Protein backbone atom coordinates (compact mmCIF):
# COMPACT_ATOMS: atom_id res chain seq x y z
CA UNK A 1 0.00 0.00 0.00
CA UNK A 2 1.52 3.30 -1.04
CA UNK A 3 1.50 6.55 0.92
CA UNK A 4 -1.61 8.01 -0.75
CA UNK A 5 -3.61 4.81 -0.24
CA UNK A 6 -2.61 4.73 3.42
CA UNK A 7 -3.54 8.39 3.85
CA UNK A 8 -6.96 7.79 2.26
CA UNK A 9 -7.49 4.74 4.49
CA UNK A 10 -6.64 6.78 7.61
CA UNK A 11 -8.99 9.48 6.33
CA UNK A 12 -11.84 6.95 6.11
CA UNK A 13 -11.06 5.59 9.56
CA UNK A 14 -11.04 9.08 11.07
CA UNK A 15 -14.33 9.87 9.32
CA UNK A 16 -15.93 6.75 10.83
CA UNK A 17 -14.60 7.67 14.27
CA UNK A 18 -15.94 11.23 14.09
CA UNK A 19 -19.29 10.11 12.69
CA UNK A 20 -19.97 6.89 14.58
CA UNK A 21 -17.63 6.43 17.52
CA UNK A 22 -17.33 9.95 18.93
CA UNK A 23 -21.06 10.54 18.79
CA UNK A 24 -23.05 12.61 21.20
CA UNK A 25 -26.80 13.42 21.28
CA UNK A 26 -26.07 17.15 21.44
CA UNK A 27 -23.76 16.94 18.43
CA UNK A 28 -26.33 14.81 16.62
CA UNK A 29 -28.71 17.75 16.82
CA UNK A 30 -26.29 20.69 16.52
CA UNK A 31 -24.25 19.37 13.58
CA UNK A 32 -27.33 19.04 11.42
CA UNK A 33 -27.99 22.76 11.79
CA UNK A 34 -24.63 24.55 11.98
CA UNK A 35 -23.75 23.37 8.49
CA UNK A 36 -26.81 25.09 6.99
CA UNK A 37 -26.93 28.57 5.46
CA UNK A 38 -29.95 29.65 7.52
CA UNK A 39 -27.95 29.14 10.71
CA UNK A 40 -25.24 31.64 9.67
CA UNK A 41 -27.39 34.11 7.71
CA UNK A 42 -27.99 36.43 10.73
CA UNK A 43 -24.25 36.67 11.38
CA UNK A 44 -23.44 37.57 7.78
CA UNK A 45 -26.35 40.03 7.70
CA UNK A 46 -24.81 41.63 10.81
CA UNK A 47 -21.48 42.15 9.01
CA UNK A 48 -23.20 43.53 5.90
CA UNK A 49 -25.20 45.97 8.04
CA UNK A 50 -22.11 46.94 10.02
CA UNK A 51 -20.14 47.69 6.85
CA UNK A 52 -22.89 49.69 5.16
CA UNK A 53 -23.80 51.75 8.23
CA UNK A 54 -20.24 52.51 9.29
CA UNK A 55 -18.42 52.86 5.98
CA UNK A 56 -20.99 54.23 3.50
CA UNK A 57 -19.95 53.82 -0.12
CA UNK A 58 -16.83 51.86 0.87
CA UNK A 59 -19.09 49.64 2.97
CA UNK A 60 -21.12 48.77 -0.13
CA UNK A 61 -17.88 48.04 -1.98
CA UNK A 62 -16.90 45.81 0.96
CA UNK A 63 -20.21 43.94 0.58
CA UNK A 64 -19.53 43.44 -3.14
CA UNK A 65 -16.02 42.18 -2.40
CA UNK A 66 -17.39 39.78 0.24
CA UNK A 67 -19.95 38.44 -2.26
CA UNK A 68 -17.20 38.09 -4.87
CA UNK A 69 -15.11 36.16 -2.34
CA UNK A 70 -17.88 33.64 -1.70
CA UNK A 71 -18.62 33.37 -5.42
CA UNK A 72 -14.96 32.68 -6.15
CA UNK A 73 -14.53 30.11 -3.35
CA UNK A 74 -17.69 28.34 -4.44
CA UNK A 75 -16.69 28.24 -8.11
CA UNK A 76 -13.20 26.97 -7.32
CA UNK A 77 -14.48 24.21 -5.03
CA UNK A 78 -17.77 23.26 -6.69
CA UNK A 79 -16.76 23.53 -10.33
CA UNK A 80 -13.01 23.61 -10.81
CA UNK A 81 -11.96 21.04 -8.20
CA UNK A 82 -15.02 18.79 -7.86
CA UNK A 83 -15.35 18.42 -11.63
CA UNK A 84 -11.73 17.31 -11.91
CA UNK A 85 -11.11 15.29 -8.73
CA UNK A 86 -13.83 12.71 -8.29
CA UNK A 87 -14.18 11.17 -4.85
CA UNK A 88 -17.26 9.39 -3.54
CA UNK A 89 -18.85 10.94 -0.49
CA UNK A 90 -18.86 8.76 2.63
CA UNK A 91 -22.63 8.36 2.36
CA UNK A 92 -22.19 6.96 -1.18
CA UNK A 93 -19.01 4.94 -0.62
CA UNK A 94 -20.09 1.27 -0.49
CA UNK A 95 -16.94 0.41 1.45
CA UNK A 96 -18.02 2.46 4.49
CA UNK A 97 -21.62 3.63 3.94
CA UNK A 98 -22.97 0.80 6.09
CA UNK A 99 -20.68 1.87 8.98
CA UNK A 100 -21.75 5.50 9.20
CA UNK A 101 -24.69 7.36 10.64
CA UNK A 102 -26.29 9.68 8.10
CA UNK A 103 -28.10 12.76 9.42
CA UNK A 104 -29.40 14.81 6.52
CA UNK A 105 -32.22 14.32 4.02
CA UNK A 106 -30.10 13.53 0.99
CA UNK A 107 -26.62 12.47 0.07
CA UNK A 108 -25.25 14.84 -2.59
CA UNK A 109 -24.15 13.23 -5.83
CA UNK A 110 -21.27 15.63 -6.39
CA UNK A 111 -17.67 14.77 -5.60
CA UNK A 112 -16.68 14.83 -1.96
CA UNK A 113 -13.38 16.62 -2.62
CA UNK A 114 -13.26 19.47 -1.67
CA UNK A 115 -15.92 20.54 0.80
CA UNK A 116 -17.53 23.66 -0.61
CA UNK A 117 -18.92 24.43 2.85
CA UNK A 118 -15.36 24.49 4.20
CA UNK A 119 -14.03 26.48 1.26
CA UNK A 120 -16.82 29.07 1.43
CA UNK A 121 -16.83 29.51 5.22
CA UNK A 122 -13.07 29.80 5.55
CA UNK A 123 -12.91 32.09 2.51
CA UNK A 124 -15.45 34.56 3.83
CA UNK A 125 -14.12 34.29 7.39
CA UNK A 126 -10.59 35.13 6.24
CA UNK A 127 -11.90 38.05 4.18
CA UNK A 128 -13.97 39.41 7.09
CA UNK A 129 -11.15 39.03 9.62
CA UNK A 130 -8.51 40.55 7.34
CA UNK A 131 -10.65 43.57 6.48
CA UNK A 132 -12.57 44.24 9.71
CA UNK A 133 -10.12 43.22 12.43
CA UNK A 134 -8.75 46.79 12.81
CA UNK A 135 -12.29 47.86 13.75
CA UNK A 136 -13.50 44.86 15.72
CA UNK A 137 -10.26 43.70 17.32
CA UNK A 138 -9.12 40.19 18.18
CA UNK A 139 -12.55 38.85 19.26
CA UNK A 140 -13.40 38.59 15.57
CA UNK A 141 -10.94 35.67 15.40
CA UNK A 142 -13.66 33.45 16.91
CA UNK A 143 -15.08 33.29 13.39
CA UNK A 144 -12.36 30.76 12.58
CA UNK A 145 -13.75 28.49 15.31
CA UNK A 146 -17.20 28.85 13.80
CA UNK A 147 -15.84 27.86 10.38
CA UNK A 148 -14.01 24.91 11.92
CA UNK A 149 -17.30 23.83 13.55
CA UNK A 150 -18.95 23.82 10.12
CA UNK A 151 -16.12 21.62 8.81
CA UNK A 152 -16.45 19.21 11.72
CA UNK A 153 -20.22 19.07 11.16
CA UNK A 154 -19.73 18.14 7.51
CA UNK A 155 -17.76 15.07 8.60
CA UNK A 156 -20.06 14.33 11.55
CA UNK A 157 -23.24 14.19 9.41
CA UNK A 158 -21.58 11.85 6.90
CA UNK A 159 -21.14 13.94 3.75
CA UNK A 160 -17.37 14.58 3.81
CA UNK A 161 -14.06 13.09 4.84
CA UNK A 162 -11.60 15.04 7.01
CA UNK A 163 -9.24 15.58 4.06
CA UNK A 164 -12.11 17.16 2.09
CA UNK A 165 -12.73 19.78 4.75
CA UNK A 166 -9.05 20.39 5.54
CA UNK A 167 -8.24 21.02 1.89
CA UNK A 168 -11.39 23.07 1.41
CA UNK A 169 -10.52 25.21 4.44
CA UNK A 170 -6.98 25.71 3.17
CA UNK A 171 -8.12 26.76 -0.30
CA UNK A 172 -10.83 29.01 1.13
CA UNK A 173 -8.33 30.68 3.46
CA UNK A 174 -5.98 31.35 0.55
CA UNK A 175 -8.75 32.83 -1.60
CA UNK A 176 -10.14 34.90 1.28
CA UNK A 177 -6.68 36.23 2.06
CA UNK A 178 -6.05 37.09 -1.59
CA UNK A 179 -9.38 38.88 -1.90
CA UNK A 180 -8.78 40.80 1.33
CA UNK A 181 -5.37 41.92 0.06
CA UNK A 182 -6.91 43.14 -3.17
CA UNK A 183 -9.69 44.94 -1.29
CA UNK A 184 -7.38 46.49 1.32
CA UNK A 185 -4.86 47.65 -1.32
CA UNK A 186 -7.30 48.91 -3.98
CA UNK A 187 -10.23 50.21 -1.91
CA UNK A 188 -9.70 49.83 1.82
CA UNK A 189 -11.89 50.95 4.63
CA UNK A 190 -11.28 54.28 6.37
CA UNK A 191 -8.44 54.20 8.88
CA UNK A 192 -9.11 54.54 12.57
Q: Is the pLDDT of residue 84 over 70?
A: yes
Q: Is the pLDDT of residue 191 over 80?
A: no
Q: Please list the alpha-helical segments (H only) found in 35-161.
A: 37-74, 116-136, 142-156
Mean pLDDT over the full length of the chain: 93
pLDDT tens-digit profile of 4-13? 889 999 999 9
Angle ∠(129,183,190) on CA atoms, nearest 5: 80
Average pLDDT of the residues in 121-146 = 94
**pLDDT of res. 104:** 80
> Distances in Å between the alpha carbon of 122 and those of 22, 42, 115, 141, 149?
24, 17, 11, 12, 11
**pLDDT of res. 105:** 82
Cβ atoms of 150 and 121 within 8 Å: the answer is yes
**pLDDT of res. 192:** 61
Task: Name the pLDDT band for 106 (thresholds 50, 70, 90).
Answer: confident
**pLDDT of res. 103:** 81
Average pLDDT of the residues in 92-117 = 88
Neighbours of 69 (CB within 10 A): 27
Q: Is the pLDDT of residue 123 over 90?
A: yes
**pLDDT of res. 101:** 87
| Distance (Å, whole) CA 115 – CA 161 | 9
Percent of the chain, pLDDT > 90? 78
Task: Name the pLDDT band for 1 (thresholds 50, 70, 90).
Answer: low
Give me the DSSP letters along 141-191. GHHHHHHHHHHHHHHHTTS--HHHHHHHHHHHHHHHHHHHHHHHHHT-PPP
**pLDDT of res. 59:** 95
Average pLDDT of the residues in 1-23 = 90
Amino acid sequence: MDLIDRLLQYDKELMISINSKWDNPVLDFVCQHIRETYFWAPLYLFFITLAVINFGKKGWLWVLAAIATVALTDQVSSNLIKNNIIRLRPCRDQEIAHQIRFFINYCPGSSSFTSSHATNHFGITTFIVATLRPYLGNPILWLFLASAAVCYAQVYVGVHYPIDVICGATIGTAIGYGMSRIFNNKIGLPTL
